[in-house]
Structure 1
Amino acid sequence: MKFIKIIPILAIAVLSSCKNDNSALAENRSSDIKVKDTTLRILPYPGKMPTVSSSYIASKKSHVANFYEKNWDHNTMNGGFLVAKNGQIIFEKYQGISDKSKKSEITANTPLHIASVSKVLTATAILKLVDQKKLTLDQKVTTLLPTFPYADVTIRTLLNHRSGLPNYAYFTDQKEIWDRTKILTNQDILDLLAKHKFPLYFKTDKKFGYCNTNFAILALIIEKKTKMNYRDAMQKIIFEPLGMKNTFVFDYMYDKGKTSQSYKGNMVQFDFDYLDNIYGDKNIYSTPRDLLKFDMATYSPHFLNPDLLKEVFKGYSYEHKGNKNYGLGIRITEWETGERMFYHNGWWHGNTASYVKLKNDTVAIIAISNKFTYKTYRTWKLAPLFGVYPVKLDKDETEY
């Protein structure tokens, strides 16, 4: 299978003196190189994105720093946090331990588990294949995976969580269905669906129902169409073209002792379990800077067809009143005033992640932590700093 090779131009203007060692991922998947705070301009593709003035950066930086200190006082985040406008980093901070046993520190180059933010990248790989005419959004899954037992489910209803599929974490939790001493794979999920024909939670496309099974199946579709395993396909389709040198898909057999670990409480380590080899819905490791490269690519017509992007950033679930919605691999908050915010959160074991995209303001807010905390999900409250977003703030947040 041949892919159209895209040669990205990564424009990075370093505004403070700093050595940024992006060594090959295969040689150093969990760097502990000490990296100073820097201000970078990151554009994976050439474009007309205006340069942010130093006065603008200064006016926002203090507010963002204040937000960080209030949420992660005494350097308690154990991860990475970044805010950028037009690809230019306004504020970033990295602190904590990636692996307690090795005493390795988290830096700008340390890949951390981004949990369900992985769905955004899986969805994008599918969209790239649609853009290349290898798939269509309304194609039935049965035309790609013949043993898949649900005739009405399409690629689109997997992407927007309207398929009605049962959650693999629930049906494999039954002893008669799966032996949890065995590591589960994506193919096992498909085989179990084919064998047991579990009832759908609801009729396909009737309503929204967030379900990890959707993206585990999408990963199999990527493998089917590319004739590569998901790890290699993601590297070829997204990570390499965008220069995401510190991003990779977790391989249970190879990586479990080499990557950043996950923790809770007083740095108590989470153990791996039988669900840790499933990919598509989770299991991508990345950095805030690499995710910023991805974010900036979504503004370029060289990355994805603009008409296709319109399908991504529209809501599909209006059967219930409220401002929460979901596009194709991205969550949406839509206010009655017309403002929209795009985002995706993630949680797995002790890992939490948040990717917030203020599309109209070309602002990205990214937080990743490997020590469990709900505070990662508060990053969207910075939105009013950059635009007219009717976000309800707590009393102590009004000065942001």
Structure 2
Amino acid sequence: MKFLRIFPYIIAFTCISCLKEKSTLAENTNEETVDTVLHITPLNTKLTKPSKAFINSKTATIEHFYHKLWSRNDLSGGFLVAKNGKILFEKYGGYANRSEKEEISANTPVHIASVSKVLTAAVVLKLIDRNKLDLDAKVNTLLPEFPYEDITVRMLLNHRSGLPNYAYVLDDRAIWDRSMLTNKDILDLFAQHKFDLYFKSDKKFGYCNTNYAMLALIIEKVTHMNYRDAMKKILFDPLGMKNTYVFDYQKDRETASRSYKGNNVLYGWDFLDDVYGDKNIYSTPRDLLKFDLATYSKKFLNPKLYNEVFQGYSYEHKGTKNYGLGIRMHEWETGEKLFYHNGWWHGNTSSYITLKKDTVTLICLSNKFSYKPYKIWKLSPAFGKYPIKPDKNEDLEL
């Protein structure tokens, strides 16, 4: 397949394209847009092609797992497993739009929910890698309206800021009237109301969508581009992620893949559907595989920063679960590590697993509510010594 032949040549998402558009944060200011240059170079990700015997043995295992999980053939999305960039197994099914009978294929973008955070973090990290941004910069030095003095970029990335979830505090109609909300609205409302932190910054882990809504604004501030454009120019285009985009409610709501409840009832749009950074990226398993392969390149990030991404930051409580910079993880006493991110928004559920030691990628996306995508991690023991019991009831967190 042509798709598979392009992996060795996937190009890097290095820093930023020449654009003269003002960021959404700068629209009402006199700040000049700063031109920067995008240097496109090959990643040269060299991964050995798995043997035919390996492919045959693993494919049988994956097929058995898949058909047991989707015994009713009710997948509405995509399922993909790859080793060293070689797709061992993939399936697609269901409808992007049930009323139009638009079937989901390998090229159909669906909402990846909080897996979007992985991609947002990747662009932030590229800006840090190119000295456009400091990992430990205070957020209020980048976003002057931001009312919390001690929170840094790192704390947003690893969810140790203590910020309250914007979806909860803005659910109060006395604060917000349920009109379509934007990231800038969130910043302005937090500046106005100075909502109490859930806990002192950097004291502990607290997963919060507000962190990534603010990171999207930081991307805009640093690049002088709208987040949607910055993600496309820095990440999606260089990696050849042709079926990936950031949803724009005004432009895309008539054409985007829709989301459904488990009984196939359509989810309607709501006032949170135009906020990005924490969610609102649409993609495919194949495009996410391209991204995952890019992370194995020595040109992805400098080694020191790369190691900071894939380390745990929250050890206040015993256990295997932790969070790096834009990625969740399991760290077992055996030394094995499993990196992942899950997502859930409306009826969309998603799971991205990257087994770094074994160069294996597991991806499942669904636009019809189901917990089944989260179970794909249980394929991990087929590729390495991951202490996961096949019948274990626990699934990875969102």
How many residue pairs match? The answer is 359
Q: Which residue of 365, 372, 377 maps to 2:374? A: 377
Which string of whole-angstrom CA distances, capped at 9 and with x for unpartnered residues, describes residues 162-218 of structure 1?
A: 0000100011111111101x1000000000110000110000000000000000000
Q: Which residue of 52, 55, 70 maps to 2:53? A: 55
Which secondary structure does the structure 1 equivalent of 2:338 belong to? strand
Q: Give the C-alpha shift of residue 220 in structure 1.
A: 0.1
Output the aligned Cα RMSD: 1.1
User: Is 1:356 the counterpart of 2:353 in the alignment?
Assistant: yes
For residues 262 and 66 of structure 1, the distance between their equivalents in structure 2, rounded to whole angstroms, comes to 28
Which secondary structure does the structure 2 equivalent of 1:266 belong to? coil
For residues 197 and 102 of structure 1, the distance between their equivalents in structure 2, rounded to whole angstroms, comes to 45
User: Is 1:104 the counterpart of 2:138 in the alignment?
Assistant: no
For residues 138 and 311 of structure 1, the distance between their equivalents in structure 2, rounded to whole angstroms, comes to 12
Q: Which residue of 190, 203, 213 maps to 2:210? A: 213
Specify the alignment match of 1:41 in structure 2: none
For residues 238 and 305 of structure 1, the distance between their equivalents in structure 2, rounded to whole angstroms, comes to 17
Q: Which residue of 331, 334, 348 maps to 1:334? A: 331
Specify the alignment match of 1:6 in structure 2: 40
Matches within 5 A, 1:1-400: 1-8=35-42, 45-180=43-178, 182-394=179-391
Provide closer, same or farther for how the CA distance between residues 148 and 87 of structure 1 changes in structure 2, counting only shifts above 3 A.
same
For residues 343 and 225 of structure 1, the distance between their equivalents in structure 2, rounded to whole angstroms, comes to 27
Identity %: 67
For residues 318 and 301 of structure 2, the distance between their equivalents in structure 1, rounded to whole angstroms, comes to 31
Q: Give the C-alpha shift of residue 266 in structure 1.
A: 2.8
For residues 359 and 262 of structure 2, the distance between their equivalents in structure 1, rounded to whole angstroms, comes to 35
Which secondary structure does the structure 2 equivalent of 1:264 belong to? coil
2:248 partner amino acid: D
Specify the alignment match of 2:10 in structure 1: none
For residues 282 and 196 of structure 1, the distance between their equivalents in structure 2, rounded to whole angstroms, comes to 24
1:79 partner amino acid: G
Which string of whole-angstrom CA distances, capped at 9 and with x for unpartnered residues, describes residues 222-274 of structure 1?
A: 00000000000000110011000000000001111101000113311000000
For residues 258 and 316 of structure 1, the distance between their equivalents in structure 2, rounded to whole angstroms, comes to 40
Q: Give the C-alpha shift of residue 77 in structure 1.
A: 1.2
Gaps of 5+ in 2: 1-34, 394-398
Q: Is the 1:119–1:282 Cα contact (8 Å) retained in structure 2?
A: yes
Specify the alignment match of 1:18 in structure 2: none
Specify the alignment match of 2:7 in structure 1: none
For residues 295 and 232 of structure 2, the distance between their equivalents in structure 1, rounded to whole angstroms, comes to 17
Q: Give the C-alpha shift of residue 306 in structure 1.
A: 2.2
Q: Is the 2:45–2:293 Cα contact (8 Å) retained in structure 1?
A: no
Q: Is the 2:247–2:280 Cα contact (8 Å) retained in structure 1?
A: yes
Q: Is the 1:112–1:260 Cα contact (8 Å) retained in structure 2?
A: yes
Q: Is the 1:315–1:325 Cα contact (8 Å) retained in structure 2?
A: yes
For residues 46 and 304 of structure 2, the distance between their equivalents in structure 1, rounded to whole angstroms, comes to 19
Q: Is the 2:45–2:294 Cα contact (8 Å) retained in structure 1?
A: no
Q: Give the C-alpha shift of residue 3 in structure 1.
A: 3.0
For residues 190 and 89 of structure 2, the distance between their equivalents in structure 1, rounded to whole angstroms, comes to 46
Q: Is the 1:288–1:367 Cα contact (8 Å) retained in structure 2?
A: yes
Q: Is the 2:262–2:370 Cα contact (8 Å) retained in structure 1?
A: no
For residues 303 and 51 of structure 2, the distance between their equivalents in structure 1, rounded to whole angstroms, comes to 28
Q: Is the 2:151–2:161 Cα contact (8 Å) retained in structure 1?
A: yes
Q: Give the C-alpha shift of residue 392 in structure 1.
A: 1.9
Q: Give the C-alpha shift of residue 395 in structure 1.
A: 8.2
Q: Is the 1:125–1:237 Cα contact (8 Å) retained in structure 2?
A: yes
Which secondary structure does the structure 2 equivalent of 1:82 belong to? strand
Q: Is the 2:81–2:361 Cα contact (8 Å) retained in structure 1?
A: yes
Specify the alignment match of 1:22 in structure 2: none
Which string of whole-angstrom CA distances, capped at 9 and with x for unpartnered residues, describes residues 21-77 of structure 1?
A: xxxxxxxxxxxxxxxxxxxxxxxx323211111111100001101111111123211
For residues 127 and 93 of structure 1, the distance between their equivalents in structure 2, rounded to whole angstroms, comes to 32
Which secondary structure does the structure 1 equivalent of 2:329 belong to? strand
